[in-house]
Amino acid sequence: MLSKVFQSSEGLSLAMPPEIADRYHLAPDIEVEVIPTDDGILLKPIGVGSWFSVEWERALDTVLEWHRPALEMAGE
Q: How many structural domains compose the chain?
A: 1
Q: Report the share of the chain in percent with pLDDT over 90.
A: 30
pTM (2 decimals)? 0.55
Q: Which domain holds residue 26?
A: 4-75
| Residue range 43-58, pLDDT digits in tens | 888 877 666 677 777 8
Within 8 A by CB and 6+ apart from 36, the residues are 42
CATH number of the domain bearing residue 38:
2.10.260
Phi, psi for residue 26 in degrees, rounded to 5 = -90, 140
Tell me: pLDDT of 75 over 80.
Answer: no
Number of other CB atoms surrounding residue 76 within 10 Å: 4
